[in-house]
A and B are shown apart, each in its own frame.
Chain A
């Protein structure tokens, strides 16, 4: 079935989405009203809504969101700084790339949550252990993208900049890093999604307050409505970050470079 109205015009995207969401929520509501499954197996729409409301009312949900976002922000910032520095080193010194670069490439194949047992042995069941996992999630892909972007700085930009008087740190700040931005951004986005996934996984085991912990709490209480409520919140945060942060950055890069959205 094509989404074309009677007069042959394509339906606008917001309306497509509204209808889709409406149908989905309606079907969910009806399925819940039929009471086919017990409430700890099948979450109901009103139940999930009230779980969200309860979370807000008691303050546990905002606390969990803030806790998770704070961990993510700290971990991601560390990963971003470390990743860019490592990328610069790998691009600048071939021996570093040949040795440490191989390690980075190898480690990147490792799902970052695999660091959690190690982190717990090092740091105990603590904030630091979770932070370590988040940093390891984002750091590697940011480092690889930074290296790629920096190494592929068109030579002619460097020549032009040096000719106009740029050198040393100025060359990095005004030419090499901005020129690497499109590639770096891809790595930042990938790194963010790795960090977010490993944060949630890490928080399942231990982190108060945090969304992952709240999710696990729902399981322990056999409260399916809370589980689904937290899943929805986690999804929403992911979507909002993508739209508010990365899409804005990508749009800015696209408008400068003139590359068309693929």
Chain B
């Protein structure tokens, strides 16, 4: 499996096929039992703020405010305070949550939490964003809105995104390329290029067509 720089890749597959494991390997949070995982040609030895994972449940820290959550990675990078403050505000504006800077995590809705998680990941300016079914637990309306926001943010940046989902249509909306995985053994079954203009939406005709093909590959 190869992922090009700046590409938006979606991994789809049934639960238990190892999609999440692939992300954890890429994030350096797990080690391969066989083979190697390379980033820019060198093996991944551990977690690195250059590749940030966004968890399904957000994994925001409840003891910190929204602002402090976004600031978290910057503190460890040694960014000076004044600079951190500016950057955090900028990011919260980008995800339309500037009004919630001083809220606690439990005061946010599911969609807002994922946007904060996205902002927290973007704060350390990673080359690669790894997203593990981040919108899986959200209602359809919120998810559609987040699809728009994510496509917009990705469009403005040059980041590589690896996005795991079991929702085929979601993969088709977001991905430049879709990698279909099979259950036990977890293997790559098929690959699809999605060459549709952005922003794309769940209900677009082109999306429906490609999603149909992907689903057929999954069920084969």
Contacts and interface: CB of A to CB of B under 8 A. Distances in A.
Contacts of B106: 256-258
Contact of B73 (A157, A165, A178): A165
B107 interface: yes
Given A163-B49, A181-B63, A156 B76 contact: no
A166 interface: yes
Given A163-B49, A163-B53, A258-B107, A174 B72 contact: yes
B220 interface: no
Nearest to B78: A165
A188 interface: no
B29 A159 contact: yes
B162 interface: no
B101 to A, nearest CB: 15
Most buried by B among A163, A179, A256: A163
A179 B63 contact: yes
Interface in A145-178: 154, 156-157, 159-166, 170, 174-175, 178
Nearest to A175: B61
Nearest to A179: B63
B175 to A, nearest CB: 22
Given A163-B27, A258-B104, A156 B57 contact: yes
A164 B59 contact: no
Contact of A165 (B61, B76, B107): B76
Nearest to B30: A159
B59 A160 contact: yes
Given A175-B61, A258-B107, A163 B76 contact: no
A164 B63 contact: no
Most buried by B among A179, A256, A257, A258: A256
A162 B29 contact: yes
B-side interface size class: 20 to 34
Contact of A159 (B59, B73, B76): B59
A164 B52 contact: yes
Contacts of B49: 163-165
A179 B29 contact: no
A255 B104 contact: yes
B76 A170 contact: yes
A164 B57 contact: no
A161 B72 contact: yes
B73 A164 contact: yes
A166 B49 CA distance: 9
A239 to B, nearest CB: 28
Given A160-B53, A164-B52, A178 B63 contact: yes
B61 A179 contact: yes
Given A175-B61, A179-B61, A165 B55 contact: no
A164 B29 contact: no
A165 B77 CA distance: 7
B47 interface: yes
A245 B75 CA distance: 30
A102 B66 CA distance: 40
Interface in A240-262: 255-258
Given A163-B47, A165-B124, A157 B61 contact: yes
Interface of B: 27-29, 46-49, 51-53, 55, 57, 59, 61-64, 72-73, 75-77, 104-107, 120-121, 124
17 contacts: A156-B59, A159-B53, A160-B59, A160-B61, A162-B47, A163-B27, A164-B72, A165-B49, A165-B77, A166-B76, A179-B61, A181-B63, A256-B63, A256-B104, A257-B106, A258-B62, A258-B106
